[in-house]
Structure 1
Amino acid sequence: MVQFLNKYTPLRVLAEGSYGKVILAKRIHEKEGELVAIKIFNFKDDEKNHQSRSRRTGNQRSNISGTELSKMTPDSLKRHGMIRHFQNEVVFLAGISHPYIVKVIETASLVHMANPFNCLQGQQQTQQSQSQQFIEERKNVRQIKEEPNQTGLYSYLVMEYAERGNLFDYICQSPLSENATCFYFRQLLEAMVHLKRSKICHRDLKPENLLIDNNYDLKLADFGFATHAQGINGNFMHFTCKGTLGYMAPEILNLQICENIGYNAEQTDVFAMGVILFSLIMGRPPFWKADPMEDKHFKILNLQQYQYFWNVWETQYSSQLGIVIREELKNLFNSLVSSVPCYRLTLNEICNHPWVRGYKVDEELAKKEMHHLWVQMKLREQQQGNLSSKAKDSQQQYQQDQIRQSFVEQEQIDQNSQMTIDNQNQQPQSIVYDPLNPNGYVQSDPKNILIELEQYALKNNMKCKYKKNSHKIDFLLPLSDGVNLVEFEVVFEKGKKKKDQGLYKLRFKFGDENVEKLTANDVEFLTSGFLQLIQGFAAMAGNNLYSLEDEIL
């Protein structure tokens, strides 16, 4: 840990996942001040297991048989998956040098050290409210009692920092122009051709893994699912279901084919490239799952009814946004997402495709477009922060009262303290902001916004009911306890008061069922999450959501 802190100064957490966290850090000595992203894997292992692993030869990857895997506990399986994920990153990513693939600076495997996130706690606490600090303090007291020796096994991967986010963030703002689409598709293609020469397949291509650096160039990242192209048997066939649902080829989703016959990982990477191509130019994926039995759009593609597929999309979507897609681009997409793997273009054939090879890209214009979207993202985040900050304050006050009372009961604080807290709870609070009434308005009929929200919900297997002639959608959503469901309604009401006449006011409502089991976290998660979705769909429909001044209407 000392050596780690001597090299890097942790700044903040960038992302969290089942494997651990990605933190932003600053280099101290070599290239002082340079920002880096550090992916840290927390194995939470004990010394005995660490010693048993250390007896394995060199840096060999741990191959465990199916029989051994079936005997593992859930925690052991998770730890094994994390180890394989980290080993893949090191084996494949650390050995690659390419301008459009994220660069690895340093790796360290199974370091026995103190929690590397402790140094971030002080910075985080300065940004926390009083109630959050109280909760964290109580948790820390208990943690110290239960875990006096807070050490564990960590592996970390230090990579260059791509500070402009990822392509998914951009296409959530707006579809890219054909010029920018071709620019970034070519960069992705160059990275994939380099991987092919290195006999590597990625197996998790998606916009979230296509990072954008400070110069607005693409950086392919996250090699946790990567594999050797030739496969374990040397016949270029693979038998494990890897990837992200919306980008997985049909032969992977068909478990009988995947586990018995196998699939060619280069061909499945090409399929994912086709989904990415469509997503860049249209601002949304062509389907949510490559299964003709479950997805109507892919069913059309599976039947090779390509003209009908494009007619549907152009009629229902792209023509409304003024998106014109030339035939050469359509032909390329059709050739990448064929249900028959051998019908898909190879990487070499993609390079020679008329649209890829012949389109004249204006690099400067493409990067200006991305910069404009980047500025829009930052402004929207700032606006979202302004909208939600007051809600968070009131919700955190509620959390403070509830959690404080819980700790009082558990630790048997004296009666006087209990009375003080009760008095605080009884005092009327000035609620500046109501999360169920987020002060959001649209000027035109919100029908298109609700249709987009319904489509999003259906694609994500959310239970919802929308009456086409109404201005509301009813959802049935799980609570944070993972057991109970709650009714949640999104509704636009016509303004009736002087200041909001002619506008449509956004409101959220909870039904009666299980409402008593709602926590402050549930309310915040659902209201702020849906508010962000609705803002995006409203902007997409050209019917922006905005707020009036904080006055009583």
Structure 2
Amino acid sequence: MEHNTIEDSRNIIFRKYEMGRLLGQGTFAKVYHGKNIVTSENVAIKVISKQAVKKAGMMEAIEREISAMRLVRHPNVVEIREVLATRGKIYFIMEYIKGGELFNKISKGRLKEEYARKYFQQLISAIDYCHSRGVSHRDLKPENLLLDEHENLKVSDFGLSALPEHLRHDGLLHTQCGTPAYLAPEVLTKKGYDGAKSDIWSCGVILFALLSGYLPFQDLNMMKMYRKIFKAEYEFPPWFPPEAKKLVSKLLVVDPNKRLSIQGIMRQSWFQKGVKHVNLLCSVNEINQDSELKEVKLMSPRFYNAFEFISSMSSGFDLSSLFEGKKKLGSMFTSKCSASVIMGKIGSLAKKLNFQVSSKEFKLKMQGRTEGRKGRLLVTVEVFEVAAEVAVVELSKSSGDTLEYVRFCEQEFRPALKDIVWSWQGELSDCQLNCNV
């Protein structure tokens, strides 16, 4: 029996949200309109069948979506409010976007240049931020771009996204995924690809579609379409704006290393028109690996959802069974110290151990300077706020050898931080070690 799913005839779930009409459904999920009964805020509630997801082997996609969406909080990205669960279902509580898909506009024909530019500016702003957080979307297309009531673009559907832990030892991604007409040529090969650069190609395809009303690469024969993509073989319609044509030509470049970067896009004259209306447009991609630990500028760290906290700490509410294929080795501790004190302590420890340190907001990366059995060890630490006087600190191995990581945790990290630790979770057991070596 589902616990607290139906409270009364109003269909109240978790004593907090009222579920309303069905907005849409897919193979494994249904999306409903909902309302927070405390704040009266409209939300979208995505209900996923745990059994169906496990049977289809789609646990990793759910995990990716949760991980990616909680990393990227941006005005042009659909926000995930909470992740809740019962024995049989998972509930994503998300920002409600009622304007529909951008695809619906394109399907009626090409957009006016000023509207296409606005949507493209907001798309680039969002993707720039995603990349700064280590998230590659990998399925950018108009169907995954929503519009709110103010005609502002919102990037959605992170089920195929990739995070730093999905990179192989060559630093590249190798999974062929996405929608064929929007795929970068390097994704179709078996040589590996940079997820950020492949996202930029997809943005180029989207911009072409916005201004032309159709896709640059399309053919009823899939192999013929792929051949066009491999050659970047397409033609602009006569009405295509000249400056936008120059920009698209720099995005749909077969060699990803010659493709225009996000920063390069932002410098283009066509892109810069009216750019003052775009939020968070400045790039935050560059983090100097050798820089001193910078003072944290945010007032507080990212909030750690209470249910996520319970799920991580309590076996009774553990969601880990959803993600049995997960190979990420990690550990977690709680602290009653402030986030700034925690970041300062860990930063000082990293420098003392001669690690290269980079930090962004309340996330810190430590990379060893010596080559190990599987390259240089890279450890990521992130601080979350649970309550006014409680912080959760997540520690994970992003790359390098597992044995070296375990030794680092047990011999260096834990002993040095004992004065700020309230309690440890996620012990590095022999079972975990054997599964991850």
Cα contact 2:185–2:230 (8 A) shared by 1: no
CA change 1:207–1:346 in 2 (3 A) is: same
**How far is 1:43 from its partner?**
2.0
**How far is 1:92 from its partner?**
1.1
Among 17, 27, 45, the residue aligned to 1:38: 45
Larger Cα-atom Rg: 1
Equivalent residue number for residue 100 of structure 1: 76
Equivalent residue number for residue 294 of structure 1: 224
**How far is 1:303 from its partner?**
4.6
Identity %: 31
SS at match of 2:47: strand
Distance 1:77 1:101 in 2: 30
Among 252, 261, 272, the residue aligned to 1:346: 261
**How far is 1:293 from its partner?**
4.8
Distance 1:169 1:17 in 2: 18
Among 147, 157, 170, the residue aligned to 1:222: 157
CA change 1:335–1:304 in 2 (3 A) is: same
**Structure 1 runs not aligned, ≥5 long:** 46-74, 113-152, 315-323, 365-553
Among 20, 24, 27, the residue aligned to 1:18: 27
Write the deviation string for residues 134-175 of structure 1: whole angstroms up to 9, x where unpaired. xxxxxxxxxxxxxxxxxxx11111001000111001111232
Equivalent residue number for residue 460 of structure 1: none
Q: Which has the higher helix share?
A: 1
Distance 2:134 2:31 in 1: 28
SS at match of 1:214: coil
Distance 1:344 1:28 in 2: 48
Aligned residue runs from structure 1 range 45-194, under 5 A = 78=56, 80-81=57-58, 83-109=59-85, 111-112=86-87, 153-194=88-129
Q: How many residues align?
A: 269
**How far is 1:334 from its partner?**
1.5
Among 30, 34, 37, the residue aligned to 1:28: 37
Distance 2:259 2:31 in 1: 35
Distance 1:107 1:290 in 2: 40
Cα contact 1:246–1:290 (8 A) shared by 2: no
**2:4 equivalent to 1:2:** yes
**How far is 1:232 from its partner?**
2.7
**How far is 1:363 from its partner?**
6.8
Distance 2:106 2:93 in 1: 27
**How far is 1:343 from its partner?**
2.0
Write the deviation string for residues 412-449 of structure 1: whole angstroms up to 9, x where unpaired. xxxxxxxxxxxxxxxxxxxxxxxxxxxxxxxxxxxxxx
**How far is 1:190 from its partner?**
0.4
Distance 2:136 2:220 in 1: 20
> Aligned partner of 1:26: which letter?
K
Write the deviation string for residues 489-528 of structure 1: whole angstroms up to 9, x where unpaired. xxxxxxxxxxxxxxxxxxxxxxxxxxxxxxxxxxxxxxxx
Q: More deviation in 186-195 or 244-253? A: 244-253
Equivalent residue number for residue 496 of structure 1: none
**How far is 1:346 from its partner?**
1.2
SS at match of 1:9: strand
CA change 1:332–1:292 in 2 (3 A) is: farther
Cα contact 2:212–2:240 (8 A) shared by 1: no
Cα contact 1:230–1:237 (8 A) shared by 2: no
Distance 1:194 1:160 in 2: 18
**How far is 1:208 from its partner?**
1.0
**How far is 1:234 from its partner?**
4.9
Equivalent residue number for residue 172 of structure 2: 237
> Aligned partner of 2:192: which letter?
G
Write the deviation string for residues 337-378 of structure 1: whole angstroms up to 9, x where unpaired. 122222211111111122112x347979xxxxxxxxxxxxxx
Distance 2:146 2:121 in 1: 14
> Aligned partner of 2:30: which letter?
K
CA change 1:197–1:285 in 2 (3 A) is: same
SS at match of 1:185: helix
**How far is 1:229 from its partner?**
4.6
Distance 1:295 1:304 in 2: 10
Distance 1:40 1:229 in 2: 27
Cα contact 2:32–2:46 (8 A) shared by 1: yes
SS at match of 2:214: coil
Runs (4+) of structure 1 exceeding 6 A deviation are 289-292, 361-364
Cα contact 1:292–1:302 (8 A) shared by 2: no
Distance 2:122 2:274 in 1: 14
Distance 1:212 1:188 in 2: 11
Cα contact 2:121–2:275 (8 A) shared by 1: no
**How far is 1:179 from its partner?**
0.5
The TM-score normalised by the length of structure 2 is 0.57
Cα contact 2:146–2:156 (8 A) shared by 1: yes
Cα contact 2:232–2:252 (8 A) shared by 1: no
**How far is 1:265 from its partner?**
0.8
SS at match of 1:173: coil
> Aligned partner of 1:42: which letter?
S
